[in-house]
């Protein structure tokens, strides 16, 4: 088949861009760094939202909505937070435009300058904790378990569709608790929700662990993360859950009367995943023929393509297909019948392959005679002939198989690309030649971590939960170390 785009081997980065573009997922807009999420890409996001939202609600969370703007002074309240977030951001300084006296459109009205500038939220801890202050008086008001679906803006210099954009969509959970234990439990619980979502819906196995001090969220006491490995051997942080301690409560003076009738600061967590997950999804499964989607997040799970030469054949096929569609829909399977007469069936085969539709059913006059259809799966390209009898059950099973196969394929890839390095030379040559996760000893200091990053461009992705303890020597300094941590070059 003639390829209209790059393969992964030729140019991985171009391959990614081509898939985003040709599968109609997103595009750059006229505003630098801001993307347009096209309907097919947005439909994937809607599926992700629905699944995550259900999981949040099952774990007792409710949604709310907080302002887009944050007063500039709020960002300075938490010392670490301001360093992390108050730098590259969109600043609103004026609230009015007037007609240009020179007749060239509109200009900013110099009289309409804000007393205090407003920042377009890069994350909402500050405005939310300013709000929670009024919601919390006693332990009876706790916990507060709010989530928000919103857009945020971080003025990134180098942007890539989905992976790093100035504006992106996300959810951010912000919870308030009476005790440290409860807040830590919440942080862990939500990381578990993210890991479950990544593995069960995205079919993307993830490492679960803790970030080091250097990689921690600005303002957190601990950052828990899930890390995935992409096909080019680079890591991608897929979700984070932060234990914020009492930092934001102290910054915004949020105290409560505890059960012992004493005033104490409230304990906090925050956690988020974003449209970046769509980038991770693309890079986890797709191949040189285009997008590959796990059935649980595919906007179209099954496409049916009729193959006919005349109207009589077409009518017979349509009748049979309608019957099949009814059965599939009854099983909750999203199915599209593409009977567009202006396109050849070969073109359609190609198009739905490019768009990653998990299952394609082709049906022609001979199939009708034989009471069968041709079923092709997107993940393995395998084609089989399946009888019409119980076709709905067979398709349902096939979707499960594809979901499992994608997960296992990525898991195998990750296992094959997780290696140990015991010397600096080994470490660098693994990163340069193979990529992947490299398990290596590190002396535990932020300074060494920073040096390793400078020299190798690799970062510590996480210290995995239940990490095996083993004596060793730091690959850079040779100082003693008690455990290996996970290094990788990352998105």
Find the shortest distance in angstroms from Cβ 107 to its own copies. Answer: 8
For its own copies, the closer of residues 96 and 366 by Cβ is: 96
Decide whether 35 or 206 has the Cβ nearer to its own copies.
35
Contact yes or no for 239/226 (Cβ under 8 A): yes
The nearer residue to its own copies, 85 or 388, going by C-beta atoms, is 85
Cβ-based nearer residue to its own copies, 120 or 228 = 120
Q: From 314, 54, 100, 275, select the one nearest 171 (Cα to Cα).
A: 275
Q: Which is nearer to its own copies, 133 or 377 (CB)?
A: 133
In angstroms, what is the minimal distance from the CB of 420 to its own copies? 42
Check: CB of residue 488 under 8 Å from CB of residue 235.
yes
65 versus 263: smaller Cβ distance to its own copies:
65
Relative to beta strand 62-63, strand 69-71 is: unpaired
Spatial separation of the C-alpha atoms in residues 210 and 155, rounded to whole Å: 26
- Shortest distance, position 405 Cβ to its own copies, whole Å: 29
Token pair listed for 271: 């956690």
Q: Is the peptide bond before 143 cis (omega within 30 degrees of 0)?
A: yes
Query: How far apart are CB 127 and its own copies at their closest, in Å?
Result: 7
Question: What's the angle, vertex CA 336, arms to CA 331 and CA 338, rounded to 5?
Answer: 150
Q: At its nearest, how many Å lie between its own copies and the CB of residue 66?
A: 5
Give the nearer residue to its own copies in terms of CB position, either 72 or 489. 72
Residues 79 and 219: their CA atoms lie apart, in Å, by: 7
Q: Which is it for the CA torsion 452, 455, 461, 464, positive or negative?
A: negative
Q: What does the block give as tokens for 315?
A: 């009518």
Residue 104 CB, shortest distance to its own copies, in Å, is: 8
Which run of H or E residues covers position 63? strand 62-63
Nearer to its own copies by Cβ, of 342 and 469: the residue is: 342
Tell me the two tokens of residue 283: 């890079």
Separation between Cα atoms, residue 337 and residue 318, nearest integer Å: 9
State the minimum distance, in angstroms, from the CB of residue 406 to its own copies.
25
Residues forming the site for its own copies (CB under 8 A): 27, 29-31, 34-39, 42-43, 45-46, 62-76, 82, 86-98, 105-106, 108, 117-120, 127, 130-131, 134, 140, 146, 150-151, 153, 155, 167, 169, 342
Angle between helices 39-58 and 276-285 (to 10 degrees): 110
User: In terms of CB distance, is 91 or 315 closer to its own copies?
Assistant: 91
Q: Indicate the Cα dihedral angle 166, 167, 169, 175, nearest 10°.
A: 80
Q: What is the 3-state secondary structure (H, E, C) of 174-194?
A: EEEECCHHHHHHHHHHHHHHH
Min CB(387)–its own copies separation in Å: 33
Task: Supply the minimum distance, in Å, between the C-beta of residue 179 and its own copies.
Answer: 19
Nearest Cα residue to 395 out of 300, 267, 302:
302
Asked whether 305 and 362 are in contact (CB, 8 A), the reply is yes
């Amino acid at each position: 088949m003639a390829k209209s785009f790059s393969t992964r081997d030729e140019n991985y980065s171009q391959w990614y861009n081509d898939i985003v573009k040709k599968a109609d997922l997103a595009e750059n807009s006229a505003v630098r760094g801001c993307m347009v999420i096209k309907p097919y890409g947005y439909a994937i996001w809607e599926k992700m939202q629905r699944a995550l939202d259900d999981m949040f609600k099952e774990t007792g969370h409710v949604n709310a909505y907080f302002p887009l703007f944050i007063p500039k002074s709020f960002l300075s309240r938490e010392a670490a937070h301001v360093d992390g977030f108050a730098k590259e951001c969109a600043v609103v300084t004026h609230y009015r435009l007037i007609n240009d006296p020179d007749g060239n459109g509109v200009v900013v009205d110099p009289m309409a300058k804000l007393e205090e500038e407003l920042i377009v939220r890069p994350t909402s801890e500050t405005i939310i904790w300013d709000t929670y202050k009024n919601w919390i008086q006693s332990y009876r008001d706790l916990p507060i378990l709010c989530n928000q679906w919103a857009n945020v803006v971080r003025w990134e210099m180098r942007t890539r569709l989905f992976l790093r954009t100035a504006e992106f969509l996300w959810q951010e959970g912000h919870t308030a608790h009476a005790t440290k234990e409860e807040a830590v439990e919440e942080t862990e619980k939500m990381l578990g929700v993210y890991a479950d979502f990544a593995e069960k819906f995205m079919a993307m196995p993830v490492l679960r662990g803790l970030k080091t001090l250097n990689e921690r969220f600005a303002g957190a006491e601990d950052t828990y993360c899930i890390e995935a490995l992409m096909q080019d051997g680079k890591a991608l942080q897929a979700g984070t859950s932060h234990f914020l301690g009492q930092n934001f409560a102290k910054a915004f003076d949020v105290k409560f009367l505890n059960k012992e009738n004493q005033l104490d600061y409230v304990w906090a967590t925050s956690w988020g995943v974003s449209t970046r997950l769509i980038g991770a999804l693309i890079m986890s499964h797709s191949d040189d023929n285009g997008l590959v989607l796990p059935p649980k997040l595919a906007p179209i799970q099954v496409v049916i393509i009729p193959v006919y030469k005349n109207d009589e054949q077409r009518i017979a096929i349509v009748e049979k297909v309608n019957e099949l569609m009814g059965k599939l829909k009854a099983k909750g399977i999203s199915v599209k019948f593409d009977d567009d007469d202006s396109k050849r069936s070969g073109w359609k085969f190609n198009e739905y392959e490019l768009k990653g539709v998990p299952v394609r059913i082709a049906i022609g006059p001979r199939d009708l005679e034989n009471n069968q259809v041709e079923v092709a799966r997107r993940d393995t390209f395998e084609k089989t002939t399946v009888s019409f009898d119980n076709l709905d059950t067979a398709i349902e099973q096939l979707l499960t198989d594809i979901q499992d196969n994608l997960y296992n394929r990525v898991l195998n890839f990750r296992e094959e690309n997780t290696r140990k390095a015991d010397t600096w030379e080994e470490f660098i040559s693994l990163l340069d030649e193979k990529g992947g996760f490299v398990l290596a000893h590190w002396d535990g200091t932020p300074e060494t971590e920073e040096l390793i990053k400078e020299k190798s461009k690799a970062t510590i992705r996480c210290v995995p939960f239940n990490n095996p303890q083993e004596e060793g020597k730091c690959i850079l300094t040779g100082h003693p170390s008690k455990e290996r941590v996970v290094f990788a070059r990352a998105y």
